[in-house]
Amino acid sequence: MTRLIAFLVFPDFQLLDATGPIATFEIAGRLRPDTYEIRVVAEAAGPVASSSGVALQARPLPDGPIDTLVVAGGMGVDAASLTPALVDWVRAAARRARRVTSICSGAYVLAAAGLLEGKRATTHWSRTDDFQRRFPGVRLEADRIFIREGDVWSSAGITAGIDLALALVEDDLGAKVARRTAQTLVVHHRRPGGQSQFSALLDTGGVHGRFAELMDWIRERLAEPLNVERLADEAAMSPRHFARAFRAETGLTPAKAVERLRLEAARMRVEGSGEPIDRVAEAVGFGDAERMRRAFLRAFGQPPQALRRAARA
C-alpha cells in the first residue's frame, strides 16, 4: 500500500522544515519501494516561496484521504495560522488522515485548527512564550525534540523535523529501515523524542548574550556548588536582579541553566566514553548517579545507560 505524505507549505515557510523530512521519506521509499507518495501542497497551487526565496512547486490542497499531513513552519506561519480557509482545510484533512504532524512552528497551524487542544505538543524554543499565550489549552512541552500524542505528532525547530520523520518511518517500516535511512542522510539514527532542545538555547542566550563569560565560567566549574548567590557575585549583580535578568536573557532560571549545562556535559561523557556513571555524575556536579538519572529522565526521556547503549548501537 502506497501512503500519501502531504507537505503543507505557505508563503515564507522554512525550507528545511519541508525538505529535510521530504528527503527522509524519499530515501525510505527507495529502500522500501512503493511505500510513499510525496506531495507538496498549498492553498494556491504553483511555486511557493520559502523565507529564503527558494520556491517549491505545490499542488492544490487534496480533497481525498491522506495518510500523513506534515505542516511546515517558518516566518509565514503567523499569517497561515490566521487564514480561515487554510485552517478549515487542515481541520477537515485531519479527520481523513491517519496522522497529522507539524515541524517547528507549524504547530501554530495545528493549534489554530484545534488539533492540539488538551494535547501535549512542542515547537521551536524561541516561540514557546508566544505559543503559550495564544494557545493556553495546549500542554506545551518546550524541552522536547518531538512529541507523539496519539495520531498527532509535533517537533521542535528545523532539523528536529528529520528526527520526527525518521520516527514516522520507523513507525511505518521498522527500526532497520529507519536506521538505514539515517545512515544515508548521514545523521544519528534518530535522537529520542525526549531529548532536550535547550542546548541550542543556552548557546544562543549565553555565547552571544550578555552572560557569555558567565556561561563559560560555569562550564569550567560544573563540579562545584553553583547557587544563584555565587553566580550573581560572579556577574557583579545582586541575586534578585541577576535572576531576573538571566531569565529574561536565556528563558531559564539560573538553577535550570546550570542543570542543563551539567546534563549536556554528562551526556557527552556518557555517550562518548566507558566512564562509570557514578563518576560522571560526580564530575559534572550532580553528586550521585540517582540524582543524575532523574535529571536525564526529565530532560531526555531516558536514563544514562539507555543513551549509552543507543550511542553504541
Please indicate whether residue 93 is annotated as part of the active site: no
Strands 152-155 and 120-121 come out as: unpaired
Residue 2 CB neighbour total at 10 angstroms: 11
Q: Which of 15, 27, 104, 168 is catalytic?
A: 104
Distance, in Å, from the CA atom of 168 to the CA atom of 43, rounded to the nearest integer, reads 25
Distance, in Å, from the CA atom of 99 to the CA atom of 93, rounded to the nearest integer, reads 10
Q: Check: CB of residue 20 under 8 Å from CB of residue 162.
A: yes
CA distances for 305 relative to 199, 291, 292, angstroms = 20, 14, 11
Distance, in Å, from the CA atom of 280 to the CA atom of 305, rounded to the nearest integer, reads 12
Distance, in Å, from the CA atom of 60 to the CA atom of 105, rounded to the nearest integer, reads 22
List the catalytic residues: 104
